[in-house]
A and B are shown apart, each in its own frame.
Chain A
Amino acid sequence: MDLKHIQRLEEEQNFALIETNRKLEQWETFRSDYEALRERMTTLPDKTTHDIMVPFGSLAFMPGKLVHTNEILVLLGDNWFVERSAKQATEIIGRRIKTVEQQIKELQAQKHLLEPRLEFTKNLPGGSRNEDYFEIAEEFDPEKEKLWREEHRKSVQRQRKKEKLERKAEERNKTLTDEEIWKRLDDLERQEAEGRELQRIQELEAPDDLELVERSQGNTLLSPIEKPPRKVHFNDDQTDSSFMEESDDDSEVEDSDDFTSGSCEENEEDRRESKTQVINFKHSQAEERLQPQEMADSEEASSDVKSPRDVYRLYKPGTKSILKNSNSARKVKVKKKSDTQRPSLQSPLSSVQAKVLDPLPSLSTEQKSPEKRQESTPEEIQKPARVSKFKAQRQNLSKS
C-alpha cells in the first residue's frame, strides 16, 4: 500500500462526506422553510385581509394589504400553477415535507456509510492519524539483482580462498609445534621407562636394594631437574585417583611412592599411560636382569638410539621383562595400602596378559636403564642415606 494512495483515498472520502453534509444541510433548510410555510398557512385565513409591508425591490417597503387570503397559487413544477385554498396548500406542503424528509433520510444513510470508511482510512498507516508511518520499499530490478549476485559470488570465492591460505599457514605453524610435542613425548616416555626400571630393580635381592635405593635416589635427585616441566604437564593431566586400585600396574606405581615425592610424578605418568593403554607386565627371571645391563652398555657404544624403535631393533624381544617375579614380589614388595592383597593379584594376571605387551615396556626400561645406571652410580657415593622404611624393615629382617 502506497502511502500516497491512502492519502488520496482519504481525501476523496472526505470530499464525499462533505458533499453529503452539504446536501443534508440544504434539505434541512428546505424542511424548515416548509414548516414555516405551513404555519403561515394556518394563520393566513384568519383574516380576510392582512396589512403588510410590501417589499419594493431589495431596499424599500411599502405598506399594503394582503387580499384573497385563502387563494394560494401553488407552483407544482415545470411552470405549472394551481390555485388552492390554504387548507389544500397545507396538504401540499405536507406532502412536500414528506419528500424532503425522505431525501434527508437517504442522505443521512449515505453519511452513515461514508463516515466509517473515512475513519478506517484515517487509521491506516499513512492516514491522517498515522502520518509518521514510513513506507520502506526497496526497488527490485531483476537485472540489477543478477549483477549483484554475480559480484557477491565472486567476492565470496575470494574470501574463501583467503581463508584457505590462512588456514594453511596456520597448519604449517602448527606442524612445527607438533614436532615439539613429539619431542616432549619422547622425553616423557624415557623418564617413564626409567621409573619402571627403578621398580624392577627394587625387586632385586636384598644386597641390591641399597644400590637400588641409591640409584633410585639418584634418579629421583636427577629427575627433579627434568621434572619441573613435566610436573606442570602431569598435574594438568591428573586423572581420577580411583585408577590406583586397578591392576598390577598400580603396584609398581605405588612402590615408587615410597621413595620421594619426585617419583610421584612417575606414578602419575604410569597411571596416565596405563589409562590409555593397558600395560600388563610379566614376571621376569632374576637371571635375565643382568643381560640388559650388559647389552645396554654395548648398545650405547654400538648405535645411536634415538627412539624406542631403535632399541627394539637392537634388542630381541623376550629378553627381559620388567614385570616383577611373583616370588620376588612377595618378598620385596610392601604396599602402602594393601600389602597382603597385592602379591596375590599380581601372579595370575601377569603371566596371562604380559606376553603381548612385553617388548615395548621391556625395551623402554632397557633404554632407560643404561642411562639411569650411569647417572645413579656417580651419585651413589654422594647420597647413600635415604631409604624407605619398608626397605629398611626388609634389610633389618634380612640382616636379622
Chain B
Amino acid sequence: MAELQKKLQTEVEKFQAVQKDYQKHVNLRQQLDAQLNENSLVKEELDRVEDGANVFKMIGPVLVKQDVTEAKQNVQKRIDYINGEIKRHEGAIKDLEKKQESQREALSKLQQQLQQQQVKAAARS
C-alpha cells in the first residue's frame, strides 16, 4: 500500500516536471512568434527606406548608426534565426506533449491500483 503511494507520488512529480517544461516551451514559442511579426514589419519598412537614410540600432541607451543594407541584412538574419528557434521549440513541444500523455496514463494506472488496494483493505477490515 505504502509502496504504491510512494510510487504514485514520484510519478506525479515527474508528470508535473514534464508539464512545466511543456509550458515553458509553449511560452517561448509564443514570444518568438511575436518577435517574428515585429521583425517582418521592420523588414518591410527598411525596404521602403532609400539607401542614403540614417538607420540606428538601439543598443542599451545608445543609438548606433547603421547602414541600410547592413540593417536589412541583420534584420533578415534575425528573422531567420527566430524561425529556426520557433521550429526547434515546436519539436520540443511535441515531444513533451507525448511524454505528458504517457505520464498521465501511468498515473491513472497507479491510481487504479491504489484504489483497488484500498478497497481490498476495506473489505478485509
Contact = CB atoms under 8 A, between A and B. Distances in A.
A83 B38 CA distance: 18
Among B45, B54, B58, residue most surrounded by chain A Cβ atoms (within 10 Å): B45
A66 interface: no
Given A80-B42, A80-B56, 5 more contacts: A76-B46, A78-B78, A79-B57, A80-B55, A81-B55
B71 interface: yes
A83 B46 CA distance: 11
Contacts of B55: 80-83
What are the 10 closest A-B residue pairs judged by CB atoms, nearest first? Answer: A77-B38, A83-B54, A81-B56, A79-B58, A76-B42, A76-B45, A77-B42, A80-B42, A82-B55, A78-B38
A73 interface: yes
A215 to B, nearest CB: 101
Contacts of A332: none
A114 to B, nearest CB: 22
A92 interface: yes
Contact of A83 (B48, B56, B57): B56
Contacts of A81: 55-58, 63
Contacts of A73: 56, 63
B121 interface: no
A82 B64 CA distance: 11
Interface of B: 35, 38-39, 41-42, 45-46, 48-49, 53-59, 63, 71, 75, 78
Contacts of A83: 53-56
A80 B46 contact: yes
A84 interface: yes
A78 B48 CA distance: 17
A213 B123 CA distance: 104
Contact of B59 (A74, A77, A79, A82): A79
Contact of A78 (B35, B53, B54, B63): B35
A91 B48 CA distance: 10
Contacts of B38: 77-78
Contacts of B59: 79
Interface in A79-98: 79-84, 91-92
A282 B98 CA distance: 114
A82 B53 contact: yes
A102 to B, nearest CB: 13
Nearest to B49: A82
Given A82-B46, A82-B49, A76 B54 contact: no
29 contacts: A73-B56, A74-B45, A76-B41, A76-B42, A76-B46, A77-B38, A77-B42, A78-B38, A78-B39, A78-B42, A79-B57, A79-B58, A80-B42, A80-B46, A80-B55, A80-B57, A80-B75, A81-B56, A81-B57, A81-B58, A81-B63, A82-B45, A82-B53, A82-B55, A83-B54, A83-B55, A83-B56, A91-B48, A92-B45
Nearest to A75: B58
Contact of B53 (A79, A84, A91): A84
A82 B45 CA distance: 9
Contacts of A80: 42, 46, 55-58, 71, 75
Contacts of A84: 49, 53
Contacts of B48: 91
A79 B35 CA distance: 11
A73 to B, nearest CB: 7
Contact of A77 (B39, B49, B54, B56): B39
Contacts of B53: 82-84
Contacts of A77: 38-39, 41-42
A91 B78 CA distance: 25
Contacts of B39: 77-78
A315 B71 CA distance: 148
Nearest to B38: A77
Among A74, A78, A91, residue most surrounded by chain B Cβ atoms (within 10 Å): A78
A261 to B, nearest CB: 94
B66 to A, nearest CB: 8
A73 B45 CA distance: 13
Interface string A94-123: 000000000000000000000000000000
A77 to B, nearest CB: 4
A91 B44 CA distance: 13
A25 B123 CA distance: 62
A92 B39 CA distance: 15
Contacts of B46: 76, 80, 82
A75 to B, nearest CB: 8
A30 to B, nearest CB: 14
Contacts of A91: 48
A77 B45 CA distance: 10
